[in-house]
Amino acid sequence: MYPRSAPGKSRHFYHVSDDAGQRCSNGGESETHERAVARVEVALHQQFGENARIETEVDVDVAEVPTPVTERRADALATFDDWNPYFGEGLAVEVQHNHEDKDVHQVTHDYLAAGYSVVWIRAATVLLDTFNYDTISAEFEQDDGSGYAQRTSKASRFTNCQALLYDGEHAWERVPPYAHPRGQEDLITYDICTAQGCELRRLHEPDDSHTYTASDEHGPDFPLKALKNAIVREYDRDPFWKWAGSQYHSAQVEKLLATRPEIERCRGPKGFHEWGRRETLWTNHADQPLIELRECMYCPVRLVTNHRGRSGHSTFCLYGREPDLDWDDVYFQASPPECDHYLYEEDAIEDYCPKCGVTMESPNTTLRDHTSWIPP
């Protein structure tokens, strides 16, 4: 006889018949796995029975954790009446037998981030005659053990996101809606984590909550090569696809759209500017282009790009007309503010802002003079 419990049901015992191996086991689990989980439940009852609720095959809420799922199903779970100084909210035991489809790394992260500890243990170990709670406890005490406690383990260790590992937060950047080829109706507003190795996306719900997903179903569906003329590189020695791969290993289109300042809304065929003719304004000591003026191939907008020689230190300035070429290097190192609005004079021919796409409705709404933001 083996004990068994489930949400909404009283704890009870069940009998394993001789032909158990021939019948379908609960939830698709093997009979070996089921027997092992039952023995873990007994061990947890013996150790924590008076101070915790012991359940098997129970869902743990991880909705507040940035992860593509909202629940994790624990093989066995001890949920404590009060916060445990070592284990936290509770202790999840995952029994590994034929149930090898769980992503151990990600599942461990989710339990720890939700306030739970977790231990991974083989079914064969649980079914040994010597098994008791001490076997579980030993996994937390060994340096190479498979037990991860709230007090001694950090969730950020179990992630492929560099930003989460080093900064404790995903590097969220908004994917611009004008880049979606499906039009402007009912677009999903979402961010993508731009850290290397991470493909997590954060969808914005109407109630200001977030839903997390690793799927790209809501994003642009055009190929990487569509961005070739939209991105300005300091040096063009490598093919565009190779350069893009050095910037991001995955989700390249979305991450480039979210992070490159020169990709802005345009009335051109792709919805964003594509930069054509360029003119060198300043060169560096090696006579290489330092400051360049470029023209959009489809609208009157100009782009001034200042590469200052260090990674991440480039300035991109958009203008609704050709800028004053007498402005010096110090000026171009400044960063114009976001809208509302710069780039235009009252008598400018252009009638919309290339930064945000706002269109003039009448002479009274003429976009602000592009020089208004320049410091005295």
Say whether both 37 and 155 belong to one domain. yes
Walk along the chain (376 residues) in steps of 10 and give the mean pLDDT of each run. 47 43 48 93 92 94 87 94 95 81 85 95 93 95 93 87 82 85 68 90 87 86 90 85 90 92 83 85 68 85 73 67 59 48 43 52 43 35
Longest dimension (CA), the chain: 91
Structural domain for 303, as ranges: 240-360
Where among 201, 230, 259 does a domain terminate?
A: 230
- As given in the structure block, the two tokens for residue 197 are 């190795």
Say whether both 154 and 168 belong to one domain. no
Note the pLDDT of residue 209.
Answer: 84
Note the pLDDT of residue 361.
Answer: 52
Q: Are 42 and 3 in contact (CB under 8 A)?
A: yes
Alpha-carbon distances, residue 202 vs 119, 162, 174, 219 (angstroms): 29, 17, 9, 12
Q: For residue 126, report the phi and psi dihedrals to the nearest 5 degrees.
A: -65, -35
- As given in the structure block, the two tokens for residue 148 are 């991860």
Say whether both 37 and 140 belong to one domain. yes
- As given in the structure block, the two tokens for residue 9 are 């049901």
Note the pLDDT of residue 24.
Answer: 41
Exposed/middle/buried for residue 17 (C-beta within 10 Å: 0-12, 13-18, 19+): exposed
Say whether both 290 and 343 belong to one domain. yes
Is 106 a member of any domain? yes
In angstroms and rounded to an integer, the radius of gyration of the C-alpha atoms of the chain is 29
| Contacts of the segment 288-295: beta carbons below 8 A, 24+ positions apart | 290/329, 291/329, 291/332, 292/232, 293/322, 293/323, 293/325, 294/232
The CB-side HSE value for 274 (13 A sphere, CA atoms) comes to 13
Note the pLDDT of residue 373.
Answer: 33
Say whether both 82 and 169 belong to one domain. no
Say whether both 69 and 145 belong to one domain. yes
The total number of residues shown for the chain amounts to 376
Say whether both 179 and 265 belong to one domain. no
Q: Are 240 and 225 in contact (CB under 8 A)?
A: yes
Is 174 a member of any domain? yes
Residue 122 belongs to domain with CATH number: 3.40.1350
Where among 176, 199, 230 does a domain terminate?
A: 230
Is 173 a member of any domain? yes
Note the pLDDT of residue 323.
Answer: 64
Q: Give the E-state strand segments of 229-325 in sequence order.
A: 275-283, 289-296, 302-307, 314-319
Say whether both 155 and 167 belong to one domain. no
Between CA 170 and CA 273 the distance in angstroms is 28
- The SS3 of residue 264 is coil
Q: Are 303 and 318 in contact (CB under 8 A)?
A: yes
Residues sharing a CB contact under 8 Å with residue 172, sequence separation 6 or more, in sequence order: 191, 192, 193, 194, 202
Q: Kindly report the CA angle at 104 between 101 and 109, in degrees rounded to 5?
A: 135
Where among 159, 182, 214 does a domain terminate?
A: 159
Say whether both 137 and 196 belong to one domain. no
Residue whose token pair is 């914005």: 204
Between CA 94 and CA 70 the distance in angstroms is 18
Residues sharing a CB contact under 8 Å with residue 33, sequence separation 6 or more, in sequence order: 25, 75, 95, 97, 98, 99, 123
6's enclosing H/E stretch is strand 2-6
Say whether both 96 and 44 belong to one domain. yes
Say whether both 316 and 336 belong to one domain. yes
Is 367 a member of any domain? no
Is 2 a member of any domain? no
Q: For residue 44, report the phi and psi dihedrals to the nearest 5 degrees.
A: -70, -40
Alpha-carbon distances, residue 251 vs 81, 177, 196, 248 (angstroms): 43, 16, 10, 7
- The SS3 of residue 91 is strand
Is 219 a member of any domain? yes
Is 138 a member of any domain? yes
46's enclosing H/E stretch is helix 31-48
Is 369 a member of any domain? no
Say whether both 168 and 219 belong to one domain. yes
Identify residue 282 by its one-letter amino acid code.
Answer: W
Q: What residues form DSSP beta bridges with 342? A: none
Tally of domains within the chain: 3
